[in-house]
Copies of this chain bind each other. A is one copy, B any other.
Amino acid sequence: MFNFEFQNPTRLVFGRQTISRLKDLVPSGSKVLLTYGGGSILKNGVHKQVREALQGFEIVEFGGIEPNPRYETLMKAVELARKEKIDFLLSVGGGSVLDGTKFLAAAIPFQGDEWEILKTTGGVVKSALPIGAVLTLPATGSESNGSAVISRNSTTEKLHFWSKLVYPAFSILDPETTFTLDARQTGNGIVDTFVHTVEQYVTVHQDSALQDRIAEGILSTLVEEGPTALSHPNDYAARANIMWCATQALYGLVGVGMPGDWASHGIGHELTAFYGLDHARTLAVLLPGVWRYQFERKLKILAQYGSRVWFLDGEDRWVASQAIDRTEAFFESVGVPTRLSSYGIDAKEAAAKIRARFEVRGAKQGEEGTLSPEDVEKIILSRA
């Protein structure tokens, strides 16, 4: 195990009818900017619950934050918040709204060009407004970490930043708010959580016995509960377990003391930037390719994964190979196709574009930075 530090200050409030707790969680006297996305919260009653809980608070609303939240949109919210002298941000929605709100938290008090926050992956962030969250889509894990991913339309870029200052002060997780998610959102959330977990676990092994077990626990739970959430959208236990898995996958404990891979994310962000493909779908496409391309390097841990999560029994190479097949089949079974052709994307074009961009940036991928732009090109081509 490598040396590590771990601290997570977010207060998690989990369960039925917990949105009413907002009145105690938002600091009294705050002027609140309520951020949301495409408006599903107006239809499913969440917006109403939030407003009722916050009676007496001064609230300004900013809706329309997109999936893969855009810098251009968010800068309008920054302007609004500065004008209105907002002092608390409340994100109501999924991970995109929350990522966007984290950017707002850092950008509103920022002096200078706000794009620097992303260009320095958060290095320039010295202060931030406090954030609270009501999560309605379990997937990104953004509800209990300091990470956010923001896209810029004008440059087709999708960049990540992290700051300890943008961890939500609290996140409310009411599984009942996820009953109205459709199959696509549910399937995407399951795949997203799955890949967040394996990016930290299927890596160069570091005698990280408990971290491995926690990762395997999340994966097994997704495999067991995912189909129930899809077939019975109002099953509280299934929705609750999936919601808790999504949070725990990126709470920070899964990968402590181990090098993270994140190649599927690194490449996937480019697929989203160029083609607008859902984040989870990029991961479902790329992960099997990233694993097959590095089969020898990852053999030992892939075999452990196959044995413990898929109960495969046999020689290591066979188990590892089968495990990749099973993973692919699992993604397909929750309604997320795993080939670029399924999404009408030309693999050759995508591979060339992304290779070129990584060459310009000098970007290497993988837990030990061993994947060159040329390797990335080959991986993408393998996923035609």
Residues of A within 8 A of B (CB): 1-16, 18, 207-214, 216-218, 220-221, 224-225, 237, 240-241, 244-245, 248, 253, 256-257
- Say yes or no: A237 contacts B1, CB within 8 Å: yes
10 contacts between A and B (CB under 8 A): A1-B237, A7-B12, A8-B8, A15-B257, A207-B241, A209-B224, A209-B225, A210-B248, A213-B213, A213-B217
- Asked if residues B210 and A244 are in contact (CB atoms below 8 Å), the reply is yes
* 9 closest cross-chain pairs (CB), A and B: A3-B15, A213-B217, A207-B237, A7-B11, A209-B241, A209-B221, A6-B12, A210-B221, A1-B240
A107 to chain B minimum Cβ distance, whole angstroms, is 26
Q: How far is the CB of A46 from chain B (nearest CB, A)?
A: 17
Give the complex CA separation of A148 and B220 in angstroms: 35
- Closest Cβ neighbor of A4 among chain B residues: B14
CA distance A209 to B244 in the complex (A): 9
Q: Are B1 and A5 in contact (CB under 8 A)?
A: no
Chain B, residue nearest A10 (CB): B7
Contacts of A208 in B (CB 8 A): 241
Which residues of the partner chain B approach A220 to less than 8 Å between Cβ atoms?
A: 213
Alpha-carbon distance A358/B217, docked complex (angstroms): 38
Among the listed B3, B5, B207, which residue makes an inter-chain contact with A16, where contact means beta carbons less than 8 Å apart?
Answer: B3
Cα distance A11–B164 when bound, in Å?
12
In the complex, the answer to whether B18 meets A11 with C-beta atoms within 8 Å is no
Determine the distance from Cα of A208 to Cα of B237 in the docked complex, in whole angstroms: 8
Known A-B contacts A6-B12, A7-B10, A15-B4; A213 and B218 likewise in contact (beta carbons under 8 Å): yes
A335 vs B11: C-alpha distance when bound (angstroms): 40
The residue from B9, B14, B218, B253 contacting A257, defined by CB atoms under 8 A apart: B14
From A1, A212, A225, name the one whose CB has the most chain B CB atoms within 10 angstroms: A1
Chain B residues with Cβ under 8 A from A13's Cβ?
5
Closest B residue to A175 by CB, please name it. B1
Given contacts A1-B237, A209-B225, 5 further A-B contacts (CB under 8 A): A3-B16, A207-B240, A209-B237, A213-B220, A216-B217
A3 & B14 in contact (Cβ 8 Å cutoff): yes
Among A210, A217, A241, A256, the most chain B Cβ lie within 10 Å of the Cβ of: A210
Contact B221–A213 (Cβ < 8 Å): yes
A2 cross-chain contacts in B, Cβ below 8 A: 15
State the Cβ distance, A69 to closest chain B Cβ, in Å: 26
CB distance from A304 to the nearest CB of B (A): 13
Task: Report how far A170 CA is from B78 CA in the complex, Å.
Answer: 35
